[in-house]
Structure 1
Amino acid sequence: METMNSPERWSLVIAAGQTVIRMYHALDRSDYSRASRCFTPDGIWERGGNALHGQQQILASLNQRSATLFTRHCVTNFLLVEHSGSVAKAEFGLTVYRSDKGAPPMLPADRAVAAMLADVECELACNDGGDWLIRRLDPRITFAS
């Protein structure tokens, strides 16, 4: 039986956390194809009040984003709350910085202010290749500007 501090548990926490961070990293770099592949083929993303079902619907929604939108998503307090076999549940905080001035951003961006803070519930599943993918991503906005 795994203990809370077992190497297997820490390995799972790292793998699950990396999947989430990889998805937001791709999203912030407008690599929407890579972001959508961080989800299971039937994954669900509760986004903007709509449930996006599957990689194709997620990709189609992301492709509608403004070409000049500049974002940075910061994941904090990642916590694995449940694990059973090839399924895991995690919770984390998400801070989103957003700017869209109608032109490609000039870095550093001026006066960065968080556009949103959210508490996120995330379910992940391990595929046959041993990769953890997001099965459900459900951000609950706690603060919005």
Structure 2
Amino acid sequence: MESMNNPESLSLVIAAEQTVIRMYHALDRSDYSCASRCFTPDGIWERGGNALHGQQQILASLSQRSSTLFTRHYVTNFLVLEHSGSVAKAEFCLTVYRSDKGAPPTLPVDRAVAAMLADVECELAFSDRGDWLIRRLDPRITFAA
């Protein structure tokens, strides 16, 4: 395990965190194709009690979401625990706000309350294209509304 105090390690932390944030940003904007491409081709997402395997299964699951669902995912306390070559392990906290009133939301959404808080374990892999992708995403719900 390398020290997190050198510039290369700092770049790794930033790049890994940006991959995770990019995935949730795409998810919140219903860009499910982009969200699924943040995973390795064989990536695993533990989602709603089911293990989704690979980009195609992830995309198929996301495409079944309600068209009027409005969400915002907030990643905090992102920490790379270890990295070795082309693999990194990270943990972070995830707060999710959601609203689905059966119609497209009007902003601001009334009475926003966090729907879920989770501690998330995440494994990332450095791809042949030169970017970090999620190899495994495993949220552990700590609070649910």
TM category (shorter chain) comes to over 0.9
Q: Which runs of 4+ in 1 moved over 3 A?
A: none
Structure 2 residue runs without a partner (length 5+): none
Aligned amino acid, residue 138 of structure 2: D
Residue aligning to 1:19: 19
- For normalisation by structure 1, the TM-score amounts to 0.98
- Structure 2: how far apart are the matches of 1:83 and 1:77? 17
Identity percentage of aligned residues = 88
How far did 1:36 drift?
0.1
- Structure 1: how far apart are the matches of 2:9 and 2:127? 17
Residue aligning to 1:142: 142
- Number of equivalent positions: 145
CA offsets, 1:10-50, max 9 Å, x none? Answer: 00000000000000000000000000000000000000000
Residue aligning to 1:40: 40
Residue aligning to 1:112: 112
Q: CA RMSD in A?
A: 0.9
Structure 1 residue runs without a partner (length 5+): none
SS in 1 for 2:104: coil
SS in 2 for 1:59: helix
CA contact (8 A) 2:2 2:84 kept: no
CA contact (8 A) 1:2 1:8 kept: no
CA contact (8 A) 2:74 2:96 kept: yes
Residue aligning to 2:58: 58
CA contact (8 A) 2:2 2:82 kept: no
- For normalisation by structure 2, the TM-score amounts to 0.98
